[in-house]
Amino acid sequence: MESHKKYVATTTHDPEHLPLVIERGEGVWLVDVDGNVYLDFSSAISTANLGYPTHPEVKKAVLEQLEKIAHAAGTDFFNPYQVELAKKLTSIAPGDFEKKVFYSNSGTESVEAALKLAKQSTGRNYFVAFIGAFHGRTMGSLSLTASKPVHRANYFPMMPGAVHVPYPNPYRNPWGIDGYENPGELVNRVIEYIDYWVFNHYLPPEEVAAIVFEPVQGEGGYVIPPKNFFSELKKLADNYGILLVDDEVQMSLGRTGRMFAIEHFGVAPQIITLAKSLSGGVIPIGATVYDASLDFKRPGSHSNTFGGHALACIAALATLNVVEKLLPHVQDLEGVFRDELGGLTEYRGVGDVRGLGLAWAVEFVKDEKTKEPDTKTRNKVVLESLRRGLVLLGCGKSTIRLIPPLTMTEEQAKLGLEIFKSAVKSVASTSPL
């Protein structure tokens, strides 16, 4: 860790609360440089969804491809591997319309491509995004990100034209509505805010290219909106000819029990962005899947060096095939997590528990009535869990996400949940009232 600090750029490491130095991975387990073994509930930020070092089927496909070609300059030359993956992605993505795929290397790049597609296809330049959103750290996607001030500090000016509105967070929202008890009221308030307060006061809707959203907010706290939110949002968008951009970078490929998280809400966006787990954590790859009618109008309008990387595409294709078979298993494990975590709100300082599939969150607060975030307790639970052999990651201001590999067995899941609950109980019993 000391050598890392000396030689490697400062990013998001937290040596105080997450002092983990990984040497290798074995299935759903991580082993540090001292030989300590940990059960993984982080999936490398929902990237290693198939476990470590990689799923056997993905490994086999990658090794076979290495005997052929790895990088084939896919944006200048043609190769069959990117076509095979594009056929698969366009066939499984929601929406009864023809689709195309742009390949990149990461989530933020897939979002950048979405912004360009939306701008050039509509001739409009404004975007609506949500408070609590995370869409990346490059300057275009950063303009849409609004989950933590540190992401944007010292980087002004960003891309102009991004307007943020409240997300329908059932647990905490500007109106103090209990979105679990009154989901319809919360959804109506958000739609009204966009349509009346924003579109009728300062943002001309006919100049808005797209509304960009995460079906389940990731870095913002694993926030799940009411069931009917996106259908109402689509009505609003369609009324003004505005596109919907669905950022699935963290929540797609089985994480919520569906291939795409938006499938829980019955809406087909015109653009979907992917990355993270797309290649099973083996090779960086991003993808932007979009309505073919939005395609770039001229060659050279957008491109990159590693897009359509042959090896990455083959890894992604194998990953998709494995994930499809795992979806029923993830849906079964959702019930285990729901049952095991359901009683946690009885512990002092646990404000909310929420989740879908294998995307779960526990939010810590100083007071259940005021809902003041308790970052200190959250961090203590992360560290105490690590000491007991469980790897976790925080998100939002005071939330822990529980996102194990999709390959985890029920027995392993229950073991991890037991460790987590014991850590929460230990920290809660020592926390002041």
Are residues 106 and 247 located together in one domain of the fold? yes
What is the CATH number for 405? Answer: 3.90.1150.10
pLDDT at 258 over 80: yes
Q: Which domain holds residue 100?
A: 58-324
Q: Which two tokens stand for residue 37?
A: 């073994």
Contacts of 12 (CB under 8 A, 6+ apart): none
Instruction: Please give the Cα distance from 326 to 329 (Å, whole number).
Output: 5
Percent with pLDDT over 70 in the chain: 99
Instruction: Please give the Cα distance from 287 to 274 (Å, whole number).
Output: 5
Structural domain ending residue among the three candidates 281, 298, 324: 324
Are residues 239 and 263 located together in one domain of the fold? yes
Structural domain ending residue among the three candidates 294, 324, 354: 324
Are residues 131 and 269 located together in one domain of the fold? yes
User: What's the average model confidence in pLDDT over 248-261?
Assistant: 98
Are residues 108 and 136 located together in one domain of the fold? yes
Question: How open is the CA angle 138-144-148, to the nearest 5 degrees?
Answer: 85
Are residues 10 and 73 located together in one domain of the fold? no
Q: What pLDDT, on a 0 to 100 scale, did the predictor assign at position 433?
A: 45
Are residues 314 and 365 located together in one domain of the fold? no
Structural domain ending residue among the three candidates 324, 351, 372: 324
Are residues 288 and 148 located together in one domain of the fold? yes
Q: What pLDDT, on a 0 to 100 scale, did the predictor assign at position 428?
A: 82
- C-alpha gyration radius of the chain: 21
pTM beyond cutoff 0.85 = yes
Instruction: Please give the Cα distance from 229 to 190 (Å, whole number).
Output: 9
Q: Look at the chain and report how many structural domains it folds into.
A: 2
Are residues 47 and 79 located together in one domain of the fold? no
Are residues 167 and 259 located together in one domain of the fold? yes
Buried/exposed 85-120: b ≥16 CB within 10 Å, e otherwise: bbebbbeebbbeeebbbbbbbbbbbbbbbbbbbbbb
Residue 348, helix vs strand vs coil = coil
User: What's the average model confidence in pLDDT over 343-369?
Assistant: 95
Which stretches of 75-168 are DSSP H helices? 80-92, 107-122, 139-142, 149-152
Percent with pLDDT over 90 in the chain: 98
Place of tokens 């027995």: 411
Instruction: Please give the Cα distance from 373 to 359 (Å, whole number).
Output: 20
Are residues 371 and 225 located together in one domain of the fold? no
Place of tokens 């797609």: 252
Task: Note the pLDDT tens digit of each residue in 96-117.
Answer: 999 999 999 999 999 999 999 9
pLDDT at 12 over 70: yes
pLDDT at 81 over 70: yes
What is the CATH number for 310? Answer: 3.40.640.10
Instruction: Please give the Cα distance from 352 to 399 (Å, whole number).
Output: 9
Q: What pLDDT, on a 0 to 100 scale, did the predictor assign at position 432?
A: 52
Are residues 29 and 43 located together in one domain of the fold? yes
Are residues 389 and 252 located together in one domain of the fold? no
Instruction: Please give the Cα distance from 54 to 49 (Å, whole number).
Output: 9
